[in-house]
Structure 1
Amino acid sequence: MAAPATTSVDFTAALVTAPATAADWLAIMPVGLCIAAGAILMMIRHRMNWHPPVAITALALLVLNNVALLIKVGTDGPLTMMMGRWLPPFGIAITVDLTGALFALAAAIVALASALYAHVEIDRSGRRYGFYPLLMMLMAGVSGAFLTGDIFNLYVWFEVLLISSFGLLILGSEREQIDGALKYAVLNLIATTLFLIAVAYLYGIFGTLNMADIARKASTYAETAPLVTLSALFVLAFSMKAAAFPVNFWLPASYHTPRTVVSALFAGLLTKVGVYALLRVMVMLLPVERETLSFAIAVTAGLTLVLGAMGALAQNDIRRMLGFVVIAGIGNMMVGIAIGGEMAVGAAIFYALHSILLMTALYLVAGEVARIGGSFRLDRVAGLWTAAPLFSAVALGLFFAASGLPPFSGFWPKALLVKAAIDIGAWWLAACVLISGFLTTLAFGRVFLFAFWRPSAGEGAAALPPIDATQTSWRMAPILLLSAFVIWFGLFPESLIAATQQAAAGLSDPTAYIRSVFPGGAP
Structure 2
Amino acid sequence: MAAAERPAIDPADAFVMEAPALADWLIVMPLVIGFIFAALCLMTRKDTRRQPAIAITGLVLILLCVVGLFVHVLVNGTVVMAMGRWLPPFGIAFVADMLGATLALISGIVGLATGIYALREADNTERRYGFYPFLLMMLSGVICAFLTGDIFNLYVWFEVLLLGSFGLLILGSRRDQLDGATKYAFLNLVATTLFLIAVAYVYGLFGTLNMADIARKAAVMDEVGPRLTIAALFFFAFAMKAAAFPLNFWLPASYHTPRLAVGAIFAGLLTKVGVYALLRILLTIFPADRDDLAVAIAVVAAASMLLGAIGALAQTDMRRVLGYLVISGIGIMLAGLALGSATGLSGTAFYTAHSMVVMTALYLLVGIVGAAAGTFDLHRAGGLYATAPWLAVVALVLAFSVSGLPPFSGLWPKIFLVKASIDVGAWWLAAAILLSGFLTTIAIVRLFAFAFWRPAHPGHAVAVACRSAGRAAGPAGPGRPVRPDRHRRPLPRTVHPGVRPDRVRIDEPGWLY
TM > 0.5 between the two? yes
- Residue 210 (structure 1) aligns with: 210
- Residue 113 (structure 1) aligns with: 113
1:197 maps to 2:200 = no
TM-score scaled by length of structure 1: 0.86
Structure 2 residue identity aligned to 1:410 = G
- Residue 257 (structure 2) aligns with: 257
* Distance in 1 of aligned mates of 2:460 and 2:385: 17
* Distance in 1 of aligned mates of 2:191 and 2:34: 25
Structure 2 residue identity aligned to 1:278 = L
- Residue 344 (structure 2) aligns with: 344
Counterparts of 1:397-408 in structure 2 under 5 Å?
397-408=397-408
1:457 maps to 2:460 = no
- Residue 17 (structure 1) aligns with: 17
Provide closer, same or farther for how the CA distance between residues 9 and 194 of structure 1 changes in structure 2, counting only shifts above 3 A: closer
Counterparts of 1:50-449 in structure 2 under 5 Å?
50-223=50-223, 226-449=226-449
* Distance in 1 of aligned mates of 2:72 and 2:337: 27
Give the secondary-structure state (helix, strand or coil) at the position aligned to 1:208. Answer: coil
Q: CA shift at 1:287, angstroms? A: 0.7
Structure with a larger share of its residues in helix: 1
Give the secondary-structure state (helix, strand or coil) at the position aligned to 1:382. Answer: coil
Give the secondary-structure state (helix, strand or coil) at the position aligned to 1:261. Answer: helix
Structure 2 residue identity aligned to 1:396 = L
Counterparts of 1:473-484 in structure 2 under 5 Å?
none
Q: CA shift at 1:32, angstroms? A: 1.2
Provide closer, same or farther for how the CA distance between residues 214 and 461 of structure 1 changes in structure 2, counting only shifts above 3 A: farther
- Residue 492 (structure 1) aligns with: none
CA RMSD, 1 decimal: 1.7
Deviates more, 1:76-85 or 1:40-49: 40-49
Contact kept in structure 2, 1:114 and 1:261, CA below 8 Å: yes
* Distance in 2 of aligned mates of 1:190 and 1:462: 48
Give the secondary-structure state (helix, strand or coil) at the position aligned to 2:114. Answer: helix
Contact kept in structure 1, 2:94 and 2:149, CA below 8 Å: yes
Provide closer, same or farther for how the CA distance between residues 257 and 77 of structure 1 changes in structure 2, counting only shifts above 3 A: same
- Residue 513 (structure 1) aligns with: none
* Distance in 1 of aligned mates of 2:43 and 2:9: 43
* Distance in 2 of aligned mates of 1:334 and 1:14: 38
Contact kept in structure 2, 1:309 and 1:324, CA below 8 Å: yes
Q: CA shift at 1:19, angstroms? A: 1.0
Contact kept in structure 2, 1:380 and 1:462, CA below 8 Å: no
Deviates more, 1:270-279 or 1:39-48: 39-48
Contact kept in structure 2, 1:382 and 1:458, CA below 8 Å: no
Larger Rg computed on CA atoms? 2
Contact kept in structure 1, 2:333 and 2:348, CA below 8 Å: yes
- Where relative contact order (Cα < 8 A, 6+ residues apart) is larger, the structure is 1
Contact kept in structure 2, 1:384 and 1:452, CA below 8 Å: yes
Provide closer, same or farther for how the CA distance between residues 332 and 224 of structure 1 changes in structure 2, counting only shifts above 3 A: closer
Query: What per-residue deviation string (whole Å, max 9, x for no partner) do you get for residues 264-300 of structure 1?
Result: 1100010000000000001111111111100100011
Deviates more, 1:220-229 or 1:201-210: 220-229
* Distance in 2 of aligned mates of 1:55 and 1:279: 32
* Distance in 2 of aligned mates of 1:224 and 1:453: 57
Structure 1 residue identity aligned to 2:206 = F
Q: CA shift at 1:13, angstroms? A: 2.9
TM-score scaled by length of structure 2: 0.87
- Residue 480 (structure 1) aligns with: none
Contact kept in structure 2, 1:231 and 1:286, CA below 8 Å: yes
Give the secondary-structure state (helix, strand or coil) at the position aligned to 2:397. Answer: helix
Give the secondary-structure state (helix, strand or coil) at the position aligned to 1:226. Answer: helix
Q: Give % identity.
A: 57
* Distance in 2 of aligned mates of 1:33 and 1:268: 21
Query: What per-residue deviation string (whole Å, max 9, x for no partner) do you get for residues 18-65 of structure 1?
Result: 112101101111111111111111122222211212111211121121
Give the secondary-structure state (helix, strand or coil) at the position aligned to 1:12. Answer: helix
Provide closer, same or farther for how the CA distance between residues 457 and 272 of structure 1 changes in structure 2, counting only shifts above 3 A: same
Q: CA shift at 1:457, angstroms? A: 3.0
Structure 1 residue ranges without an equivalent (≥5): 1-7, 472-523
Paired positions, count: 462
Give the secondary-structure state (helix, strand or coil) at the position aligned to 1:90. Answer: coil
Query: What per-residue deviation string (whole Å, max 9, x for no partner) do you get for residues 393-435 of structure 1?
Result: 1011101101001121111101111111111111100000000
* Distance in 1 of aligned mates of 2:228 and 2:16: 35
- Residue 488 (structure 1) aligns with: none
* Distance in 1 of aligned mates of 2:462 and 2:251: 29
Provide closer, same or farther for how the CA distance between residues 407 and 15 of structure 1 changes in structure 2, counting only shifts above 3 A: same
Structure 2 residue ranges without an equivalent (≥5): 1-7, 472-478, 480-513
Structure 1 residue identity aligned to 2:397 = G
Structure 2 residue identity aligned to 1:324 = Y
Q: CA shift at 1:331, angstroms? A: 0.4
Contact kept in structure 2, 1:382 and 1:461, CA below 8 Å: no
* Distance in 1 of aligned mates of 2:378 and 2:458: 12
Query: What per-residue deviation string (whole Å, max 9, x for no partner) do you get for residues 123-143 of structure 1?
Result: 111101100011010011101
* Distance in 2 of aligned mates of 1:459 and 1:445: 24
Q: CA shift at 1:10, angstroms? A: 5.2
